[in-house]
């Protein structure tokens, strides 16, 4: 299942984080990072998925 989340994180980073942690603080941080830059959003999403 982590592979699917990582693929979704590359396409749409907040979706991958949402599937991992739900509507928590990491989801909102990822939305902000994705708005400020697509690459930071991807890095954060993959980090959250790999950490759990």
pLDDT in tens, 5-42: 899 999 999 999 999 999 999 999 999 999 999 999 99
Structure tokens that stand for 48 in this block? 């959250």
Give how far Cα 22 sits from Cα of 14, 25, 33, 37, Å: 10, 9, 17, 21
Burial classification of residue 43, based on how many CB atoms lie within 10 Å of its CB (0-12 exposed, 13-18 middle, 19 or more buried) = middle
Question: Has this prediction a pTM greater than 0.85?
Answer: yes
- pLDDT score recorded for residue 35: 96
State the helix-helix crossing angle for 25-36 and 38-51, rounded to 10 degrees.
150
Instruction: Report d(CA 52, CA 34) in Å as an integer.
Output: 21
């Amino acid at each position: 299942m982590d592979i699917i989340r990582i693929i979704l994180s590359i396409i749409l980073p907040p979706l991958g984080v949402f599937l991992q942690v739900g509507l928590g603080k990491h989801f909102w941080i990822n939305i902000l990072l994705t708005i400020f830059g697509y690459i930071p959003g991807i890095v954060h999403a993959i980090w959250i998925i790999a950490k759990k």
